[in-house]
């Protein structure tokens, strides 16, 4: 009988431990990221931005950390682009372009926005397909900001347009991912883009 009571006591403790809120709590999963790291993205941007210079006066991008988990800078007059990632060597969680409406409304630099998205993928054929998808799906939607749903490009990228007063955050995330909370902190960095040619 004592053995039976001892076994029952051990089983009761084991059941209590497995039902414990501490052990039952789920570990929060890390947010989805793109395969490209901040370092790779910036290097690729800086090696290909010459093609955009003639049209949009695009400048190089910096991998300097502006705030915890925020990298980037203004890549054209009034057009900041920020990468959200844990570190320079981590996968990118989101690309954010915060823009402010000017006297004539929001002037979205579509070519630069498209380049920020296609630069997420090192494969040239994927870049080309994303550029086509941007023209077909995202470009027409730019006149309907904010988007009710993200625009999904080739099942690779979701493009979100979130409005905060006069500021629009264009945010590219992996498909199905939510806009990271850190993106809202970039509202204060929004600028009015210079007119594009």
Q: What is the CA radius of gyration of the chain?
A: 22
The answer, as to whether pTM is greater than 0.85, is no
Cα distances (Å, whole numbers) of residue 184 to 1, 84, 97, 160, 173: 64, 12, 11, 12, 14
pLDDT mean over 102-113 = 79
Predicted pLDDT at 56: 56
Identify the band that residue 22 occupies on the pLDDT scale cut at 50, 70 and 90. very low
Helix (H, G, I), strand (E, B) or coil at 71: strand
Q: Average pLDDT over the chain, rounded to whole? A: 82
Tell me the C-alpha distance between 112 and 16, whole Å.
57
Reported as a single tens digit per residue, the pLDDT across 134-181 is 999 999 988 888 888 999 999 999 999 999 998 999 999 999 999 999
Strand pairing report for 167-174 and 65-67: unpaired
Least confident residue range of 33-37, 132-136, 188-192:
188-192
Strand pairing report for 157-164 and 94-100: unpaired
76 Ramachandran zone, left/alpha/beta (phi>0; psi -120 to 50) = beta
Identify the band that residue 8 occupies on the pLDDT scale cut at 50, 70 and 90. very low
């Amino acid at each position: 009988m004592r053995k039976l009571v001892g076994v029952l006591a051990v089983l009761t403790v084991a059941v209590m431990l497995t039902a414990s809120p501490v052990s039952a709590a789920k570990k929060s999963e890390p947010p989805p990221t793109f395969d490209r790291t901040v370092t790779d993205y910036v290097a690729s941007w800086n090696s290909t931005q010459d093609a955009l210079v003639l049209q949009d006066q695009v400048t190089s991008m910096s991998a300097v950390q502006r705030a915890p988990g925020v990298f980037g800078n203004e890549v054209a007059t009034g057009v900041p682009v920020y990468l959200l990632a844990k570190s320079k060597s981590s996968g990118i969680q989101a690309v954010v372009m915060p823009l402010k409406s000017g006297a004539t409304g929001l002037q979205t630099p579509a070519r630069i926005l498209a380049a920020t998205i296609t630069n997420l993928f090192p494969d040239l054929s994927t870049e080309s397909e994303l550029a086509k998808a941007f023209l077909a799906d995202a470009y027409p939607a730019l006149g309907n900001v904010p988007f009710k749903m993200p625009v999904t490009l080739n099942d690779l990228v979701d493009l979100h347009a979130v409005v905060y007063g006069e500021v629009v955050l264009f945010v590219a995330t992996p498909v199905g991912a939510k806009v990271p909370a850190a993106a809202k902190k970039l509202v204060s960095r929004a600028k009015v883009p210079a007119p594009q040619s």
